[in-house]
Structure 1
């Protein structure tokens, strides 16, 4: 009997140790790939798809542990280039100087958040600034960027205007609608999905023109998702899984903007609820637009803008075609 009891205890321990071993193996399998994603600014509706993917478990489902952070003193591009973040947000125009440099930072654009450039010039309504020529003799709040000013000069000249007659003042504006209302400036460059929608909510009557409507070359990609080159090479599968889940997050945002707005507000409760909801509805048609898939970059449009910069000597060196972007990590 004693031998039977000892045998039974030994068998029980064997099962216990086996179970413990299986538990550890299972725990090991559940270990997720860690990804740090850095925003370009504070959270806003350009970023909603990321928060939806995180909140709804799309990253978890694909074995990813994604942390979304805001940039500190360094820009998102610098943080991604240094490897402190695997992915981040930038814009094609902002990246131009890097790709024209002799030793560019190791970053590549892997997805377009919006399919078209939704930026343009906003001004007070019925003051004659609904067309570029109308900017003559008025004040424009500038970031003092050569590319910015060259674009305005281009659309003004196409409209028969003279850029030298625009009065440039520093752009230290936080609330564009309020700045126009209080006549701090006559015109401001804004992205309609936030600045333009905000003016509608605040009931500030405005005129607006898109750069892309006046010159197709200016329909470049902004904002975009960038990635660290070494990360892409060494973690190809992880990068594809990340973009697959992110794509699902943006598709969900397109389909259900009201629910997506709630998720963004949960992640960033400091945002104005009315503005977030209105902006989310407006952007629902912009994330993918007429493209068959979210995130895809058209090489012709990408190259056209960089060729224009090179031709107008707005970058240090000519940017070779198809430089700085890839669609290879997007999974249909």
Structure 2
């Protein structure tokens, strides 16, 4: 059955998906492995599972002490882990593909693929003349420098066959995006569909009536996006920490599915000024639109369809003219996924 936002708001069917930890609980502070983690964005509804995992003690249960920070974009999270600034991150696998093609020795690796449907888009005003990708030619576009969709723009222009000679792109702070679009200072803005949709709603816009989305996936860019990434060195030197990290997050997702309000409450604890109702809508939309590829029923959330993943790598490499095609094993490993009886194979 296809997931809808309506039935996700009602569901509690994910309860009990995750079994016993299988790791010793109650480790002392001295035995805890400390990991710093950068998220993709500011604290919003779709970060609920990370915070719920922390509040329920799942990281501690697996011998981990996690320090989480807000991010500056999904692409930036990859760079932050690659540089050693963070031990792990929630970042865009397409940025990882590019880094692995250009600097394989620096590239981290994805150990739990969460967003399996492409969210990348250029949002324009519904009142504008822009109705298709071709209409973006000659327009003034804008976005945050580390935005995942903006980083994929060169690839998108190749796939969609666009002439970019007349396109102007302006970078601005992420919190200015919706206002820049609404005020007409740019013709379109880059981002993830649901990030823009609900941020626009918070700004007083009606995104369903006022915004049109030119989505990359509609033009053949069938890509994955955000996943949990770690340095390859960490997988070699402390594989149990990586395994515990993934299992804790997996349990946090299952608990969020079982109780969406508890997940949102965990976000509110970190960011009391958010609009909890809208963030719940954002969470539901993310689950329905960005994490709900049919492959989940076969491979489980966190895993990939190897054939589809290879095609995604090929799309990014060809469209961006990268110097080499990384092997799947350079980008993703299933070695740290939870046991099969703990994996999530359906979201409702």
Deviation at 1:321, TM superposition (A): 4.4
Deviation at 1:114, TM superposition (A): 1.5
Counterpart residue number, 2:37: 37
Under a length normalisation based on structure 2, what TM-score does the superposition of the two structures give?
A: 0.75
CA distance in 1, matches of 2:77, 2:167: 32
Counterpart residue number, 2:310: 303
Quickly say closer, same or farther: Cα 1:136–1:260, change in 2 above 3 A. same
2:179 paired with 1:178 = yes
Q: Give the alignment partner of residue 285 of structure 2, picking from 282, 286, 289.
A: 282
Quickly say closer, same or farther: Cα 1:256–1:309, change in 2 above 3 A. same
2:213 paired with 1:208 = yes
CA distance in 1, matches of 2:155, 2:194: 23
CA distance in 1, matches of 2:49, 2:290: 9
Is this contact kept in 2: 1:113–1:223, CA < 8 A? yes
Is this contact kept in 2: 1:303–1:322, CA < 8 A? no
Q: How many residues align?
A: 299
Counterpart residue number, 2:94: 93
CA distance in 2, matches of 1:313, 1:51: 35
**Structure 2: gaps of 5 or more residues:** 1-25, 341-348
CA distance in 1, matches of 2:225, 2:200: 21
Is this contact kept in 1: 2:98–2:316, CA < 8 A? no
CA distance in 2, matches of 1:27, 1:257: 29
Under a length normalisation based on structure 1, what TM-score does the superposition of the two structures give?
A: 0.78
C-alpha distance after superposition, 1:162-188 (max 9, x if no partner): 434653131315333322221011111
Deviation at 1:84, TM superposition (A): 5.3
Counterpart residue number, 1:317: 324
Larger CA Rg, structure 1 vs 2: 1
Q: Give the alignment partner of residue 260 of structure 1, picking from 260, 263, 274.
A: 263
CA distance in 1, matches of 2:126, 2:28: 61
Quickly say closer, same or farther: Cα 1:288–1:127, change in 2 above 3 A. closer
Is this contact kept in 2: 1:251–1:294, CA < 8 A? no
Counterpart residue number, 1:52: 52
Is this contact kept in 1: 2:155–2:320, CA < 8 A? no
Deviation at 1:147, TM superposition (A): 4.0
Counterpart residue number, 2:10: none
2:152 paired with 1:151 = no
- 5 Å-filtered alignment, 1:42-121, equals 42-70=42-70, 76-81=77-82, 83=84, 85-121=86-122
Deviation at 1:60, TM superposition (A): 2.5
Deviation at 1:122, TM superposition (A): 1.0
Quickly say closer, same or farther: Cα 1:242–1:27, change in 2 above 3 A. closer
Deviation at 1:220, TM superposition (A): 1.9
Is this contact kept in 1: 2:95–2:151, CA < 8 A? no
CA RMSD between the two structures: 3.0
Deviation at 1:286, TM superposition (A): 4.1
CA distance in 1, matches of 2:192, 2:308: 19
The alignment partner of 1:195 has SS state of helix
